[in-house]
Amino acid sequence: MIHNFSAGPCILPQDVFEEASKAVKDFNGLSILEISHRSDDFVAVIEEARRLVKEILNVPENYTVLFLQGGASLGFLISALNMMRENKTGAYINTGTWSTKAIKEVKFTGGNEVVVASSEDKNFSYIPKKISIPKNVDYLHFTSNNTIYGTQFKKHNFNTNLPIVCDMSSDIFSKKIDVSKYDLIYAGAQKNIGPAGTTLYIVKNDILNKSSLPIPSMLDLAKHVKGDSMFNTPPVFSIYVSILNFYPRLNF
């Protein structure tokens, strides 16, 4: 497998560009850029995208795969809003710029955050070993790979029964994972999936409709699950190109 250590959008294979440009000109008679997201052609695209994610990552039955918008940066807020329970507090491991940003978003939910481990003292150059999680928190959030400094959690074992939320933007699909260990995974597409424009969410169905905070409709994962990722108009082209990029990964 080829790894791209340059932060920024991913390199897409040449054959993906070729297929994608054909679809821009003609996708069953129309351009992929102008088809309705309610058309049979696009429903087939999004179903295929979900099927591929499930197949490649071996996603268990009790999880839903969503393709939303807003980037992983909106995922910071979406994850916090959807995971807050009676304690209205999330536990965060701070291992870099993106975890720091995720932590900063919590205050906008009306809930609180507690940093349970951090490598900020040495400019995020290591993964903290000691994590002490207080009692009254609702979930544990971490960033699996620190995109900017390159520090990555090799193991995701935190010795806790808390629901686990992971921002996997820059290492999802780079290795096999056991999805059943997580309650919520999110990842912006542009690093490891396809072009910018869509954000992948892998949601354990149990977490839906349990937040203790009011959630605006567009940030409510339950609404997106109910709408099959089409609560609003999905980013059609980005999802289509992601499918093309998923195909070579089927055997990874």
Least CB distance from residue 150 to ligand PLP, whole Å? 11
Which C-beta is closer to ligand PLP: that of 23 or that of 82?
A: 82
Which C-beta is closer to ligand PLP: that of 191 or that of 224?
A: 191
Least CB distance from residue 172 to ligand PLP, whole Å? 10
* Burial grade of 178 (CB within 10 A; 0-12, 13-18, 19 or more): exposed
Least CB distance from residue 151 to ligand PLP, whole Å? 11
Catalytic residues: 98, 167, 191
Which C-beta is closer to ligand PLP: that of 33 or that of 148?
A: 148
* CA 1 from centroid of its chain's CA atoms: 22
Give the closest residue to 77 by CA, choosing from 101, 43, 61.
101
Determine contact, residues 156/181, Cβ cutoff 8 Å: yes
- Listed in sequence order, the residues at least 6 apart from 208 whose beta carbon sits closer than 8 Å to its beta carbon are 82, 221, 222, 225
Binding site for ligand PLP (CB under 6 A): 71-73, 98, 143, 147, 167, 169-170, 188, 191
- Listed in sequence order, the residues at least 6 apart from 209 whose beta carbon sits closer than 8 Å to its beta carbon are 222
